[in-house]
Chain A
Amino acid sequence: MAHIPIREGLAGITGLLEYRLDSAKPIRELTQTLMRGDSPLSFAERELIATYVSFLNECTFCTKAHEATAQVLFEDDTIIDSVKWNFNKAPISDKLKSLLIIAQKIQQSGKSVTVNDIELSKNFGATDIEIHDTVLISSLFCLYNRYVDGLASWTPEDDGFYKKLAERLVSQGYTGTTEPIVHSE
């Protein structure tokens, strides 16, 4: 049970964003801009970074939600697993692999990122904006994972819930005005 009273049937972040609407608004806007706004990184690549950081932070809710979203966007069910377990062998570009190294470091701490990590990315063609967005997406998911787990929000077991959430994130993004998904198990 969550540490604060959350509306029944609202899982993970959806219940928390409903609990305090005035802080939810800028969180949603930041996420929408970062994950669906103009960027050289594709939506799929950005969701992959979010999934990977959430996986490293052991946040089940966020990992499942963004994994499901990334799978829809990549049109590939296997790519995320290969990234989670050994991204060096995953069927993704060298540039994206080098950005995932940065994401991995950010998950540990800001200071873990080295000049060498940045240079490697630039050598593989990453632009300043791609590096910036990788760092900020990774940092944002360090916020989300702590928020979701720190308040012990409900993590459903039903994979169907995450598929539904993913469909919404793909079709509406992060600032949709529809009612949150009410789930029961």
Chain B
Amino acid sequence: MSYISVPEGQPGIRGLMMFRPETAKALNLLVEELLQIDNGLSKGEREIIATYISTLNDCLYCRSVHGAIAKYHCEGDEKFVLDAVTAPENSQLSAKMKSLLAIAKEVQKHGQNVKQSHIDEARNNGATDLELHDTVLIAAAFCMFNRYVDGLGTIQPTDKSIYDSIGKQRSEEGYLTKPVVIKL
């Protein structure tokens, strides 16, 4: 049971957003702007960064939801996403994405851990200024989201089908529509 009185049966960030709709609006606008766009980084690449950070932060809810969304953006290739977020260096990701995930990994630990050598490696692999910016901001944002969801002790189901239905909806509609009905 979560640490504060969120509506019954609402897991993870859903319950928190229903508890405090005033902050929910801006949180949803932020992820819509960071993840639901193909600009430099594709939607799939953005969701992989989010899922990777959530995996490093060991947040079950966030890594499951964003892992599912990433899968739908990556032609349903679940294994590709799983490999990318568990062992990126050995995965099928592009060299550019591998070097951006290396930056994201440093951001997750501490902002000052990102060194010029990380940036140079990413640029050598073709990363643009915007892609560097967005990688750091997505990583930083998921350090916020993971803390929010875990820090308030939210319910985090283990039923994969729940995350799959959320993932399918969000991959199709983005983050600004009413949440799909789920049953815990």
Contact = CB atoms under 8 A, between A and B. Distances in A.
A23 interface: yes
A29 B29 contact: yes
Interface residues of B, number: 49
Interface in A10-62: 16, 19-20, 22-23, 25-27, 29-30, 33-34, 37-38, 57-59
A152 interface: yes
Contacts of B95: none
B3 A113 contact: yes
B22 interface: yes
Interface stretch (A65-73, A77-85, A103-111): A103-111
The secondary-structure label for the interface of chain B is helix
Contacts, number: 146
A59 B143 CA distance: 15
Contact of A131 (B4, B29, B129): B4
Given A132-B152, A151-B136, A5 B110 contact: no
Contacts of B59: 110
Contacts of B150: 109-111, 113
Interface residues of A, number: 50
A109 B111 contact: no
Interface in B126-154: 129-130, 132-134, 136-137, 139-141, 143-153
Chain A binding surface SS class: helix
B119 to A, nearest CB: 5
Interface centre among B34, B137, B147 (most CB of A within 10 A): B147
Nearest to A4: B129
A165 interface: no
A110 B12 CA distance: 12
Contacts of B5: 128
Nearest to B22: A33
A181 interface: no
Contacts of B20: 129, 132-133, 136
Contacts of A88: none
A132 B149 CA distance: 11
B152 to A, nearest CB: 5
Contacts of A135: 147-148, 151-152
B177 interface: no
A3 interface: yes
B153 A148 contact: no
Interface string A134-166: 011011101111111111100000000000000
Contact of B112 (A38, A58, A129, A147): A58
B130 A30 contact: no
13 contacts: A3-B114, A19-B133, A20-B137, A26-B29, A27-B30, A105-B151, A110-B148, A128-B5, A129-B20, A143-B141, A144-B140, A148-B111, A150-B136
Interface of A: 3-5, 16, 19-20, 22-23, 25-27, 29-30, 33-34, 37-38, 57-59, 102, 105-106, 109-111, 113, 115, 118, 128-129, 131-133, 135-136, 138-140, 142-152
